[in-house]
């Protein structure tokens, strides 16, 4: 008695393999998008005001508009790192919606504009120009 064996045609097998590959590709893309969106942070720090208190003291008012706390890791004035000993005020763990006032002791000369850059722990830089009176 002859045994009948039926197989899927090569065309149908190819279509099924392509459909499975596309479905897996879509699943991986969705998963990767979810992973990267949780890793992205959109820091938003606003410099509210910059003023000069005395010959060597810069007053800087900043506001955290991010939905989470941010921290300033480094401050550069005229492309030089401002030492932590020369900074008065809270610049780490600035809560969402909070404002912080910093006093920076720096060396500056009257009538010159200087670059000031705030670097957050997330790696985001906030550059501004300070015109010294």
Q: What is the pLDDT of residues 65-112, one digit of tens each?
A: 988 889 999 999 999 999 999 998 888 889 999 999 999 999 888 888
Same domain, 58 and 27: no
Whether the full predicted model's pTM is greater than 0.85, yes or no, is: no
- Which residue range forms the structural domain that includes residue 12? 8-40
Same domain, 30 and 52: no
Phi, psi of 96 (to 5 degrees): -60, 130
Same domain, 63 and 19: no
Task: Please report, to the nearest 10 degrees, the dihedral formed by the alpha carbons of residues 29, 34, 39, 43 taken in order.
Answer: 110
pLDDT band at 123 (very low <50, low <70, confident <90, very high): confident
The answer as to whether 2 is a domain residue is no
The answer as to whether 1 is a domain residue is no
In order of 38, 42, 48, the CA distances from 29 in angstroms are 14, 22, 40
pLDDT band at 10 (very low <50, low <70, confident <90, very high): confident
Same domain, 127 and 78: yes
Tokens matching residue 45: 């720090």
Tokens matching residue 99: 């404002």
Same domain, 31 and 55: no
Distance CA 59, CA 103 (A): 5
Same domain, 30 and 61: no
Question: Which residue in this structure is represented by tokens 């000369």?
Answer: 109
Same domain, 15 and 60: no
pLDDT digits (tens, 9 = 90+) for 27-73: 998 888 777 665 566 788 899 998 888 778 899 999 999 888 899 99
């Amino acid at each position: 008695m002859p045994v009948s064996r039926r197989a899927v045609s090569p065309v149908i097998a190819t279509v099924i393999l392509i459909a499975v590959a596309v479905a897996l590709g879509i699943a991986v893309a969705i998963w990767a998008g979810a992973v990267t969106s949780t890793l992205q942070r959109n820091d938003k720090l606003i410099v509210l005001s910059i003023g000069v208190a005395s010959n060597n003291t810069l007053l800087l008012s900043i506001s955290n508009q991010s939905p989470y706390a941010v921290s300033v890791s480094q401050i550069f004035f005229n492309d030089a790192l401002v030492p932590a000993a020369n900074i008065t005020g809270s610049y780490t763990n600035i809560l969402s919606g909070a404002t912080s006032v910093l006093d920076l002791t720096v060396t500056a000369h009257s009538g010159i504009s200087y670059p000031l850059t705030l670097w957050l722990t997330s790696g985001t830089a906030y550059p501004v120009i300070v015109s010294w009176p």
